[in-house]
Amino acid sequence: MAESQSLYLCLLLFLFLHLLLPLPPALASSTPTPTAWPHQFHSVLFINSSGNLQKTDLWYDWPNGRNFNIIQHQLGVLKYDLEWNNGTSFYYTLDPFNHTCKVIHFDVGILRPNWLDGANYLGQHYADNFLCNVWEKVDFIWYYEDVLTRRPVKWIFYSGMIAHVMTFEVGAVLEDAQWQAPVYCFNEAETHEKSSSSKALLDSEASGALGGSFMREITTQHAYVK
């Protein structure tokens, strides 16, 4: 009798404590959502695309409607991929490399700061030795965000291309003079490649020959899904 009574008390105490104690944060909050991108930042990315390595300086500048990928291929060419929110992209090289420029028009602008909204949460995993929350968006990108600082750590693309985020300077802005495409981009004699965005173009050009214009790819992918 006394035994069942104390058991009963234990149970009451247990229930009482449960009501008083807050749930651990992981259970109390709903599924985590990715942090929106800061409106301006500079990031250095190390990118491995099927063994081809590149270092990319990413200058994201949403208020000015522009995004820049400055791509150093390992022991190779330095390429500039300047993207405007009106859909125009300039891909060019400067001295000491040959003067080349391609102008491509996309139907989509640059990535919006909240482009990760609606991504599917896949739980927590380690990436590059950081504990990360992981999301997947439209079977196109797997996005790893540091649990502690909420900064991006790693992006994996459906193509197998992996970007490791080495620096993430919130608020850093590249000066206006650097956003000027060279004169030979505006010379009609140059091969201007005008095209509305198509998957074929992305598969053949943007992801391959152009050195991985992944930001436009993501945006275009979004446009297809919507």
Ligand X SMILES: *[C@@H]1O[C@H](CO)[C@@H](O)[C@H](O)[C@H]1NC(C)=O
- Which residues would be at the binding site for ligand X (CB under 6 A)? 48, 50-51, 53, 84, 86, 88, 98, 105, 160
**How far apart (Å, rounded) are the C-alpha atoms in residues 53 and 75?**
9
Cis bond upstream, residue 152 (ω within 30): no
Shortest spacing between CB 74 and ligand X, in angstroms: 9
Nearer residue to ligand X within complex by CB, 138 or 156: 156
Shortest spacing between CB 28 and ligand X, in angstroms: 38
**How far apart (Å, rounded) are the C-alpha atoms in residues 133 and 147?**
6
**How far apart (Å, rounded) are the C-alpha atoms in residues 130 and 221?**
28
Shortest spacing between CB 53 and ligand X, in angstroms: 6
| DSSP three-state, residue 180 | coil
Nearer residue to ligand X within complex by CB, 33 or 48: 48
Nearer residue to ligand X within complex by CB, 58 or 163: 163
Shortest spacing between CB 77 and ligand X, in angstroms: 7
Nearer residue to ligand X within complex by CB, 86 or 204: 86
User: CB-based contacts of 168: which residues, under 8 Å, 6+ apart?
Assistant: 41, 43, 151, 152
Provide the token pair at 39. 């409106």
